[in-house]
Amino acid sequence: MHRRDFGLAAASLGLAGLLPTGWARAQTHGDSLRILSEAGPNTFDPIGIGANRGAIQLHWNVYDRLVRFGTKTLPDGTLYYDYFHIEGELAERFEVSDDKRTLTFHLRQDAVFHDGTRVTAADVKWSLDRILASSVGRSQFATGSMTSPDQFTVVDPYTVTITTPQPDRFTLPNIALTFPIVINSTLAKAHASGADPWAMDWLKANVAGGGPFRLDGFMPGQSITLSRFDGWKSGALPGFRRVVWQVVPAAQSRVTAIERGDADLVENLPPNDAAGLGTAPNVKVVGVPMQGAFQFIGMNSRLAPFDNVKVRQAIAYALPYEDMFQAALFKRGKPLFGGVPGEADGTVFPQPLGYDTDLGKARTLLADAGFPNGFDTSFSFELGLATVAEPVALLVQEALGKIGIRVRITKVPAGQLGALLERKAVPFYFEASIAFLNDPDYFFRVFYHGPTRWNFGSYHNPEFAALVEKTRFETDTAAYDADVKRMITLAKQDVPIILLWQPALDTGMLKTVDGYKYEFHRQVDLRTLTRG
C-alpha cells in the first residue's frame, strides 16, 4: 500500500480519532494488534537530531542490529532486557579476541532485507560508517572507543570486525543500542547525493531495513501500519501479522479505548490513570521501574548558595519524599530516597542516597552553612513534565519554607529547560533523564562529570573526577568495584543532585495480550507480543 492510498483508507476508517467500535474490535481479534500512544515518530532515522521516542519504537521494529540484549524474566513474569547478556541478531554468532580489542561478527547467510536483497558485511560496514558521519552517532560511538571508519573491516561477504585501540567494556553494548541499525546500503545509496552521501534526508521518511516488521503506511501525527516480515531470520517470527499504531494525544481517550476493548495496548499511562486502570476487569497494567531512568532535583554547585555542600545536604534532609512520591507518581516506581547514608551500598547506581526527611538536621546544617535565616531562590521545572513536576515543586516550596528557604516556582516553556541547563543558568530545578548503559562508571561519567548539560549539578570534585577517568578502562574487577564504591560515597556526601525515584513505565493491555517485554529504550517491542 502506498502512503497516499493508506492515507485515504485511514481517513475513511476514522483513524484520525477513535476508530468505530465495531471495526476496532474486529481488528483486535486474532493476529492483528492495535496500539495507542501519545505521539508518533518525528523521523524514521535513529541518528536524526531530536529523534523522539516514537522514532525509537518505529526503527526498533523495522530494522535489525548486529546484536541485542538478552531477555530475563522478573518474579512477576514480566520479560525484561538483560544488559549483561548480549546475543546475536543479524550476527548468528560473534567472538571477542584474546586481547579484547577485536569483535568479529559472523552474519546469518540467509538474512534478507524487506526487498529481498541479501544482507552482507558491506551493508554492515556502510551502516556503521554512516553512524560516524552523524554528530549524534559519533558522540555515542565514542563512548565505546569507536571513532574512525577504519575500525570497521569487511573480512568476507558475511564477516565483519570492529577493532578498538584498547579493551573497552562499552563497545559491544553500544552495538546493541537503538541507533546502530543495519541498512540496505544498495537501496539507500540509490537515494544519496553528493551533498548527502549517506542518504540522511531520504532515510528520515523511508525505511531500508530487514527487521521483523515492514512499514506499510504512515500518516504523520495520526497513524502507522506495520505488517510482519515473514522473511525475517533473526529470531522467532512475531505473533502478530499486522499492527495498527494510532496516535491519540489525550490520555483519557487512550484509557477509555482500552477499557472498552477498542485497543489492545496503550502506552505511557500517567500514574493516576495506571492506578485506576488496574481495576478494569479486562485490562492488565504492567508497571516496570525504568532501569537507568531517574527523576531528581538538581542544584547548581557552581552557584551560591548551592556551592556550599551543607546547603545541599540541608535541602536533602528537608524534602518530604514520601509525600512527593505519592503526589507525583502515586508511588508507581522505585524510591531513590532513604537507604544507607554516607557510604556505598554495593556497586549498583543509581541507588538510594541515604537521605530521609529530618527537619532538625536540615536546620542545623543550614545554620552551619551560614544561613540560619535561610535564603531566597527559585525552583524551575519544564511544563512538559508538569504532571509530575508541579506537585513536587509545591511540596518543595512548602517543606523548604519550614527551614527558612523561600522558594519562588518558575515554570519553563516546554523544550526550553535544556537550553538553560546547557548554559548552567538554572540554580535549582526538577528534571528527569536516563542512561542506556548500566555500568555505574558510565552513569557517573555522563551525569556527574565534565562541562556538559548532563552534569546536572555542575559537580566537580577532583578526587571524583580522577576516579571517573581511572575506571574508564579498568580491567581489574576488584579495583573497579572499590573505585565505584568510593564514587558512590562521594555522590552521597556531596549530593550535587538529589535522586528521587526511578519512575515506572506503565503500559495497559488487554488480558488477551501476552509476551510484553520491557526494553531499555522504554518503547514497545512488537516481536515478543502474542495473543493469549
* Tens-binned pLDDT, residue by residue, of the chain (532 aa): 333 333 333 333 333 344 433 434 444 457 999 999 998 999 999 887 778 889 999 999 999 999 999 999 988 888 999 999 999 999 999 999 999 999 999 999 999 999 999 999 999 999 999 999 998 899 899 999 999 999 999 999 999 999 999 999 999 999 999 999 999 999 999 999 999 999 999 999 999 999 999 999 999 999 999 999 999 999 999 999 999 999 999 989 999 999 999 999 999 888 888 888 877 889 999 999 998 899 999 999 999 999 999 999 999 999 999 999 999 999 999 999 999 999 999 999 999 999 999 999 999 999 999 999 999 999 999 998 898 999 999 999 999 999 999 999 999 997 788 889 889 999 999 999 999 899 999 999 999 999 988 999 999 999 999 999 999 999 899 999 999 999 999 999 999 999 999 999 999 999 999 999 999 999 999 999 999 8
pLDDT score recorded for residue 10: 36
pLDDT score recorded for residue 24: 44
Q: Assess if residue 11 is contained within a domain.
A: no
Final residue in a domain of this structure, among 176, 196, 216: 196
Strand ranges, E, within 166-229 = 213-219, 223-228
All residues at 6 or more sequence positions from 142 whose CB lies less than 8 Å from its CB, including other chains: none
Residues comprising the chain, all counted: 532
Whether 192 and 302 map to the same domain: the answer is no
Residue 305: cis peptide before it, omega within 30 degrees of 0: yes
Q: Residue 396 in contact with residue 297, Cβ under 8 Å? A: yes
Q: Assess if residue 238 is contained within a domain.
A: no
Final residue in a domain of this structure, among 147, 169, 196: 196
Whether 383 and 491 map to the same domain: the answer is yes
Q: Assess if residue 21 is contained within a domain.
A: no
Distance CA 176, CA 89 (A): 9
Task: Supply the range of the domain harboring residue 413.
Answer: 293-504
Distance CA 381, CA 371 (A): 25
Nearest to 285 by CA among 516, 57, 54: 516
Nearest to 383 by CA among 416, 336, 343, 427: 416
Q: Assess if residue 39 is contained within a domain.
A: no
Burial of residue 421 (number of CB atoms within 10 Å: 0-12, 13-18, 19+): buried
Q: Which domain CATH number covers 164?
A: 3.90.76.10
Give backbone dihedrals phi and psi of 58, rounded to 5 degrees, phi first.
-70, -55
Bridge pairing between strands 102-107 and 91-96: antiparallel
Q: Which residues pair with 162 in a beta bridge?
A: 103, 152
Final residue in a domain of this structure, among 196, 215, 243: 196
Distance CA 54, CA 164 (A): 32
Q: Residue 407 in contact with residue 398, Cβ under 8 Å? A: no
Whether 448 and 320 map to the same domain: the answer is yes
Q: Assess if residue 233 is contained within a domain.
A: no
Distance CA 506, CA 216 (A): 28
pLDDT score recorded for residue 29: 59
Helical residues (DSSP H) of 223-264, grouped into ranges: 251-260
Q: Assess if residue 186 is contained within a domain.
A: yes
Whether 303 and 431 map to the same domain: the answer is yes
Distance CA 497, CA 507 (A): 29
Q: Assess if residue 530 is contained within a domain.
A: no
Q: Assess if residue 394 is contained within a domain.
A: yes
Q: Which domain CATH number covers 420?
A: 3.10.105.10
Whether 190 and 305 map to the same domain: the answer is no
Domain count of the chain?
A: 2
